[in-house]
Amino acid sequence: MSYEPPRPAGRLLLTPQDKDAAARVRRLRGMGLGARAEPAFDAFADRLAEVTAVPYSMVNFIDENRQFFAGLHTPDGDGLRDGFGGGPGVVGRYMARDYGFCPHVVVRRKALVLEDVCDYPRFAGNPVVDEIGVRSYLGAPLIDHTGIVLGTVCAVDIEPRPWGRAGLETIKSMAAELVQQIELREGGGLPEG
């Protein structure tokens, strides 16, 4: 699979073309994922936020048009609502594919570490930088046993963060752990939600 970096379109940067979106949506629907928030995913996002010491973390499933945070941790739970918007610093359960960095992780099929998004012209113009105040991002893909990238797990900070190799290993490990939990659930090993 090839990856083409996004090209500037005025101030916004284009989200990379996602040729696997239709297959991902079929797989997510077949697994019953990506349509509703689940307490187990919120708990996972809470733990990820604690481990990485960030104000925001997500379990994110992505379809052709939007991102859905099935697991979401925000400061004091103030962003736990349906929708996106409502002012600076507000994160809801849904976000357009053009917002954020997770769609890039999905297409790249590998982790993305941005210690300071402003250091990367490709990412600095993303709407989440100004609208939410994102300055640092750490994300990894959720790749299941069929080879489909279901979505991502990510940790986000409003301050630059020196994630280093330890941060990269942490996010990759957390992603692998969640994929294992999802596959156990699919096989009947764990209860849903």
Which CATH number covers residue 144? 3.30.450.40
Evaluate whether residue 191 is within a structural domain: no
Evaluate whether residue 153 is within a structural domain: yes
Residue 94 CA: distances (Å) to CA of 1, 37, 69, 98, 138: 27, 10, 6, 12, 19
Evaluate whether residue 170 is within a structural domain: yes
Q: Is 20 left (phi over 0), alpha (psi -120 to 50) or beta?
A: alpha
Task: Give buried/exposed letters for 23-43 (b at 16+ CB in 10 A, else e).
Answer: ebbebbeebebbeebbebbbe
Evaluate whether residue 99 is within a structural domain: yes
pTM of the model: 0.83
Work out how many domains the chain is built from and give that number: 1
Evaluate whether residue 193 is within a structural domain: no
Q: What is the pLDDT of residues 124-143, one digit of tens each?
A: 888 888 887 889 999 999 99
- Percent with pLDDT over 70 in the chain: 82
Distance of alpha carbon 77 from alpha carbon 11, whole angstroms: 31
Distance of alpha carbon 114 from alpha carbon 85, whole angstroms: 23
Q: How confident is the model at residue 9 (pLDDT cuts 50, 70, 90)?
A: very low
Distance of alpha carbon 172 from alpha carbon 156, whole angstroms: 15
**Domain region containing 32:** 12-186
